[in-house]
A and B are shown apart, each in its own frame.
Chain A
């Protein structure tokens, strides 16, 4: 199984900050990597697919990069509505695996 290690597990930031979350896969997975945002009590929402493609309707302040084993989600200028938990996911092979999550707090 492919393991996905996400860091940090929590992050304190302020409105307007630039924030980066990273994930590492235990083996090379090309660009088969996705990012999700989850707000409390809600279903997750797809932000980025195929490592760097922005899902329709997602603000352009979100961006993804990476390939192989190392991937990054960047929020260029934090907005109040961005405070949530973020998960990464490898979709290269089954079983599909998620990172442990990053809780982004004020």
Chain B
């Protein structure tokens, strides 16, 4: 069974940082491209970014609102995806979901974690 478990969310002041983690199991994590999607309270879904598998180059791409402030990384030895969030703004308040993105056939978020809430407030 595929499982994605996010952690690391919490309350942080504007300008602060948090590192979100996503522990993956039930599939070959090293072969998978992964993504982060966020959802502000009462709002729709917003793509944050995606990271390729190391085999495919391991590079990350980001949405414009987070580019330069957020960094995705992965540790395939630990089956864990990370999202380092810096210079946080109140607009970054959201539930952050980790998802699978591409496993060789099509681009879609097949599997989602339960989400971790990040609240940016003074």
Contacts and interface: CB of A to CB of B under 8 A. Distances in A.
Contacts of A89: 45, 108-109
Contacts of B106: 49-50, 53, 91
A100 interface: yes
Contact of B110 (A38, A55, A94): A55
Interface of A: 1, 32, 34, 36, 38, 43-46, 49-50, 53, 55, 87, 89, 91, 94-101
Interface residues of B, number: 21
Chain A at the B interface: mostly helix, strand, loop or mixed? loop
Interface stretch (B10-18, B22-30, B112-120): B112-120
A95 B61 contact: yes
Interface of B: 35, 37, 44-47, 50, 61-64, 97, 106-110, 112-115
Nearest to A92: B107
B108 A98 contact: no
A101 B97 contact: no
